[in-house]
Structures are given as C-alpha cells and as structure tokens.
Structure 1
Amino acid sequence: MSEVARFQRLYEANFTPLLGYALRRVSSPEDAADAVGETFLVAWRRAEQVPEGDEARLWLYGVCRRVLANHNRGNTRRTRLGARLRATLAEQTIPDPAGDVALSVTVRAALARLRPADRELLQLSSWEHLEPREIAVVLGVSARSARTRLSRARQRLRTELDGNDPREAGHVLHDRAAAPPPQSRLAPEEER
C-alpha cells in the first residue's frame, strides 16, 4: 500500500473520533478543527512512526493532546501579554495631535501675512536652526544686522498672532513640524 493510501485510510478512520476528542477540550469549533488539522499534519510528516491498527488512534490522541496543550499555553501567553500591554498603555499619556493642527494652521496663516524678508529670517532661524551669525552669512549682512532683523521679525509675528495663544509664536519659532510643504516648481510654460 502506498504512503498516500495509508494516510488516507488513517484519516478516514480517525477524523471523526479525533474531532470529538478536540471539541470536548476547547471552547470553539475552530480551535478544535485547527488542532485536528495540525495533528494530521504531524501524522503525515511522521508517517513511519504511526503505529498500525487501533494503536494509531491512541497515537493520534497523544499528538492531539500535545497540540492542544501548546494551543492553551499560547492562549495563556497571549492573555498575559495583552494584560501587560493594556496596563502599560493605561499608564501612558498619548498626546492628541488634533490640537497641533489648529495651532499649525494659525501660525502658517500668520507667517503668510508677514513680509517675505521676515518670513525668510524666521524660517532660517526656526526651521533650519541657524544662529544669527549663520543667517548673516546666508543673507549677506552683518551678524548684528541679522540679529536685529530677526528680533523685529519675531515681534511682527507676535503681533500677527495677537489675541491667540501665546504658545503659537514659540511654536513657529522653534518647531520644524510647522514647516510648509515643499513648493512645486512651475511647469516650463508657466515660467515664461
């Protein structure tokens, strides 16, 4: 008899009793079906170890018992891990980014109302993290002039944000997240 034919006979003779064995030991039919499937997979892989006759069913029960034990241990580990994760998450403070959206929109609008020169100074300082002396090199002015212009630009931004949350000026002055999206280049025919 071929290996396939022998396995088919083993399956047909033992599927129903093995499924009943598993169903009586787990809470869901799906888990029982999975256990039986894995048991027969082991039987296929270890066909030379499966005894003949009635002993085959006992051997399959033993394999299924170990499969179910592994299943239960896995469930216990998952349950414990889930409990630990829930406890950890309960202790964590997760910031709500929704507040930053409104803040960013307000700051961007205020920046857009500034003169381009002021906007450039603030962006070089806050978004590029350049010091006044470095800004001076970029703009081709003295360090003293850059410092003065930057101070005035910050004051103009505060004025634009007047009446809003005072954190907003600090947000744009120190947060790269407020950086505008990259500008797209004009198509060649638009540049003319």
Structure 2
Amino acid sequence: MSPDDHFRQTYAADFQPLLGYALRRVEQPADAADVVAETFLIAWRRRHEMPTGPETRLWLYGVARRVLANHHRGGIRRQHLGERLRRRLSSVVPDPANEVPERLAVHDALARLGELDREVLTLTVWEGLEPREIAEVLGVNAAAVRTRLSRARSRLRELVGDDLGPPGHVFSVLTVPTPKEGR
C-alpha cells in the first residue's frame, strides 16, 4: 500500500478517536478541531515514516499529545501577552467608564448640531486638523472654517451648558484617546 493510501485509511479510521481525545483535553471545541487538523497535517508530512498496523493510532496519539502541549504553551503565551497588553493599554488610555455621563452629554449635544458644524468640530478635535486643512477637506476657504468653528464651539457649549465645567473641558471629553507614541 502506498503512503498516500495508508494516510487516507488512517484518517478515515482515526479521525473520530483523535477528535474525542482532543475534545477531552481542551476548553473549546474549535481548539480540538485545530489540534486534530494539525495532527493530521503532521501525519501527512511524515506519511512516509508513519508506522503501519495498530501502531499507527498510537503514533497519532503521540503526535496529538505534542500538538496539544504546543497548543497549551501557546495559550499561556497568548494569555501573558494579553495581560501585558491590557496593562499597557490601561496605562496609556484612561478607563472610559469614568467619563460615560459626560461623553453621552457631549455626544448628544454634538448630534444636535448641524452637519457642517459637527464636521468642523470633529475634524478639529478628533482628527487634529488645522482650519486651513479643514478648508481643503471641505472645499471652502480657511476664513469660513475659522468662523464656522468659532460658532460651532459656542453652539456646543450652549447645548451642553455649565454642567461639564469650563469650556475647554467640553472639548477634552470629545477627544477620543489614542495610544501615545514611544511607550
């Protein structure tokens, strides 16, 4: 029998037992499918070395065992990396839950502005564009943008009221935090 035929027979006979083996050793069924797929990929690559007879299934269990070990080590590495990234993210980006009421009030007020006022404000605050750059984006002159921006800021402050503190704070609440460079 050719190595390809032997592999096909082995796959047909041992897929279900290997899937059961993997399912009992991982938390998620999708992970078990990945383990079995990787096991058979290795078996396919090494089909010329695969033993015949009853030893085939035992050999596959050995391969699956090593794949599972790699899977678990990878999971631990991903977990540690995730923890490190969460710590780093929390040091760079403040917890947005602290500003939810303020953000809701500002976003509600922003939604009540006219479309052009809203666009001028968001291009300024969120995108960090200068009036001359906004003028280019909108296809108007920079003086019109400066006037529109001044009026939009005033309208936004009127809509929000004095509840959010000084006028500059309204715009800081509008700002969407982005990760700082160099950390």
TM-score, normalisation: structure 1? 0.51
Distance between the aligned counterparts of 2:17 and 2:93, measured in 1?
A: 52
Partner of 1:72: 72
State the partner residue of 2:143. Answer: 112
Structure with larger RCO (C-alpha < 8 A, sep 6+): 2
Q: One-letter code of the match for 2:66? A: R
Determine the C-alpha separation between the residues in 2 that align with 1:71 and 1:16. Answer: 19
1:26 aligns with 2:26: yes
Aligned counterparts of 1:89 and 1:31: Cα–Cα separation in 2: 27
Displacement of 1:103: 9.2
Residue 89 (structure 1) aligns with = 89
Q: CA deviation at 1:25?
A: 0.2
Q: Which runs of 5+ in 2 are unaligned?
A: 95-120, 145-149, 155-165, 169-183
C-alpha separation in 1, matches of 2:85 and 2:29:
28
TM-score (structure 2 length as normaliser):
0.54
- Larger CA Rg, structure 1 vs 2: 1
In structure 2, relative to structure 1, the CA distance for the partners of 1:9 and 1:91 (3 Å cut) is same
1:100 corresponds to which residue?
125
Deviation at 1:73, TM superposition (A): 0.9
Structure 1 residue 104: Cα displacement:
5.1
Unpaired runs of 5+ residues, structure 1, are: 114-159, 168-192
Distance 1:3 1:92, change over 3 A: same
Closer, same or farther: CA 103–40 of 1 in aligned 2, 3 Å:
closer
Size of the aligned set, in residue pairs, is: 120
- Superposed, which structure 2 residues align to 1:142-181 within 5 Å? none
Report the equivalent of 1:187: none
| Partner residue in 2 for 1:9 | 9
Moved over 2 A (4+): 97-105
Counterpart Cα distance in 1 of 2:48 and 2:129 = 71
Identity of matched residues, %: 52
Counterpart Cα distance in 2 of 1:72 and 1:50: 25
CA RMSD of aligned residues (A): 3.9
